[in-house]
């Protein structure tokens, strides 16, 4: 058992996994629908924000389908609240 097991167990609530899934699908759909408009709306893609958006989308999708990493390293890599922060920042930038 790792130090993040308790946190990840609390994050396995239905409404939180649904939130992750909806945010991941929404971000993926926005990127695939019109990548140029999405890029312009968030200020362009660069090495930092493109990787962060891809990671956050993947992390949210992994959490949204109910997968729970077992080892400490993967629990740290796929930590949903950090992904929510990145996606929420992206959505707020997109719609303000």
Interhelix angle for 14-33 vs 47-64, to 10°? 140
pTM of the model: 0.89
| pLDDT tens, residue by residue, 8-50 | 889 999 999 999 999 999 999 999 999 899 988 888 888 889 9
Is residue 75 within 8 A of residue 4, CB to CB? The reply is: yes
């Amino acid at each position: 058992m790792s130090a993040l097991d308790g946190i990840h167990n609390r994050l396995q609530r239905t409404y939180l996994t649904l939130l992750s899934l909806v945010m991941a699908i929404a971000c993926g759909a926005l990127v695939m629908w019109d990548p140029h408009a999405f890029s312009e709306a968030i200020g362009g893609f660069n090495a930092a924000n493109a990787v962060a958006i891809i990671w956050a989308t993947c992390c949210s999708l992994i959490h949204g389908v109910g997968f729970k990493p077992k080892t400490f390293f993967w629990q740290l890599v796929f930590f949903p609240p950090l992904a929510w922060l990145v996606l929420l920042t992206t959505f707020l930038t997109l719609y303000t």
